[in-house]
């Protein structure tokens, strides 16, 4: 029953986006049942091809017309001719239409599963070994594929003249296939540009210029948090490009938000980005996440929020990151219960330990 309710909510929201698009909030609240029903019907029709709209129209007409046999009078005799009911033909047409839609859905689902497998290959399966840090990460798409990205890998920083580890978490605006494709281009450009020796600020500038060429005039922007961790000094330099502020919980319990940076990538080619810096001490926690985590909603439209996330972290500060990650995801799942997930969720947990 709960699964049926969840599927019904997802389907309604899918069509609701169309028939609510042209209405003001007051109009949407003031609609009567019949108006909502009419708008929903039009939204469904718009999703069908012209030929299938004709089939649906014929089916509805046949279902509404009276059925039965035909009476024929000839030479004083009454001849009754039995023909299939029009309602039967209407049901058959609806069945054919349903089979066509299901066939399309099966093909689309297969393609999405292939895209999901490719996307999983692009993301790291497990974190690398970073001196002084314990790391765990996970992502969960709202649909089959996601627009979230995360990675950690070593690179050469020309400014510092040493090997550092690049930490990246990004969120492409939108969901599903368009966001997933842009996520793949983000990953490719990040790996390519990171292979050249340059500082973090130069890397982000280059990423922004590249993103501007693929953002459809700023509509498909990307929020990102990019950081470079130097194990020798335990310092983390970072740029926050319009992303949710990562939370740095010190071993003392104090909380800092890493907010220094600039605009999301892909909005303005001439945008400039500031670089922030922090030093990670033993026992410090760093949580980098996308908005799908803190904006996850329950049935009362309440958001999970940062405070609940910090409360989970506070309660399990002595845990290793992998166990803490399971606890965070379990907390979100318990909070939203059966409410459909409306955005991709990604979380990276980093705990500073002894070198």
The residue extents of the domains of the chain are 12-117, 124-352
Mean pLDDT, residues 30-43 taken together: 66
Mean pLDDT, residues 19-34 taken together: 54
Q: Tell me, what DSSP letter sits at residue 253?
A: S
H helix count then E strand count, the chain: 10, 13
Rounded to 10°, the helix 50-64/86-122 angle is 140
**Alpha carbon distance 268, 246 (integer Å):** 23
Give the residue carrying structure tokens 């389907």.
11
**Alpha carbon distance 170, 183 (integer Å):** 8
Mean pLDDT, residues 247-273 taken together: 95
Task: Check if the beta carbon of residue 223 is closer than 8 Å to that of residue 243.
Answer: yes
* Structure confidence at residue 40 (pLDDT): 67
Q: What is the CATH number of domain 124-352?
A: 3.60.40.10
Q: ∠140-142-146 over CA atoms, to 5°? A: 70
- Continuous segment of H or E residues that includes residue 348: strand 345-352
Task: Check if the beta carbon of residue 347 is closer than 8 Å to that of residue 138.
Answer: yes
Inter-CA distances, 181 with 64, 105, 211, Å: 45, 20, 12
Q: Are strands 222-230 and 235-241 parallel, antiparallel or unpaired?
A: antiparallel
* Structure confidence at residue 237 (pLDDT): 96
* Structure confidence at residue 135 (pLDDT): 97
* Structure confidence at residue 245 (pLDDT): 97
* Structure confidence at residue 2 (pLDDT): 57
* Structure confidence at residue 161 (pLDDT): 59
Tokens of 34: 């019949």
* Structure confidence at residue 139 (pLDDT): 92
**Alpha carbon distance 278, 235 (integer Å):** 6
């Amino acid at each position: 029953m709960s699964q049926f309710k969840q599927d019904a909510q997802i389907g309604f929201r899918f069509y609701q986006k169309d028939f609510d698009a042209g209405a003001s909030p007051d109009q949407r609240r003031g609609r009567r049942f019949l108006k909502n029903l009419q708008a929903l019907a039009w939204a469904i029709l718009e999703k069908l091809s012209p030929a299938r709209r004709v089939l649906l129209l014929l089916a509805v007409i046949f279902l509404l017309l009276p059925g039965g046999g035909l009476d024929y009078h000839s030479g004083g005799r009454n001849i009754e001719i039995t023909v299939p009911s029009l309602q039967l033909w209407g049901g058959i047409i609806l069945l054919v239409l349903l089979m066509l839609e299901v066939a399309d859905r099966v093909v689309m689902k297969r393609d999405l599963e292939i895209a999901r497998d490719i996307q999983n290959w692009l993301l790291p399966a497990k974190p690398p070994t970073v001196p002084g840090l314990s790391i765990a990460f996970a992502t969960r798409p709202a649909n089959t594929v996601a627009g979230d990205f995360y990675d950690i890998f070593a690179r050469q920083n020309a400014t510092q003249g040493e090997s550092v580890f690049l930490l990246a978490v990004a969120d492409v605006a939108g969901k599903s296939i368009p966001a997933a494709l842009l996520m793949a281009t983000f990953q490719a450009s990040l790996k390519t540009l990171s292979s050249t020796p340059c500082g973090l600020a130069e890397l982000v500038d280059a990423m922004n210029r590249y993103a501007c060429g693929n953002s459809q005039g700023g509509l498909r922007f990307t929020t990102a948090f990019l950081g470079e961790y130097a194990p020798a000094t335990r310092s983390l330099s970072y740029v926050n490009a319009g992303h949710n502020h990562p939370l740095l919980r010190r071993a003392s319990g104090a909380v800092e938000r890493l907010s220094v940076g600039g605009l999301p990538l892909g909005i303005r080619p001439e945008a400039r980005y500031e670089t922030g810096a922090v030093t990670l001490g033993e026992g410090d926690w760093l949580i980098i996440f996308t908005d799908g985590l803190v904006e996850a909603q329950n049935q009362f439209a309440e958001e999970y929020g940062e405070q609940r996330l910090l409360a989970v972290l506070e309660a399990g500060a002595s845990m290793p990151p992998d166990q803490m990650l399971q606890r965070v995801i379990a907390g979100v799942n318990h909070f939203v219960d059966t409410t459909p997930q409306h955005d991709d969720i990604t979380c990276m947990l980093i705990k500073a330990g002894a070198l």
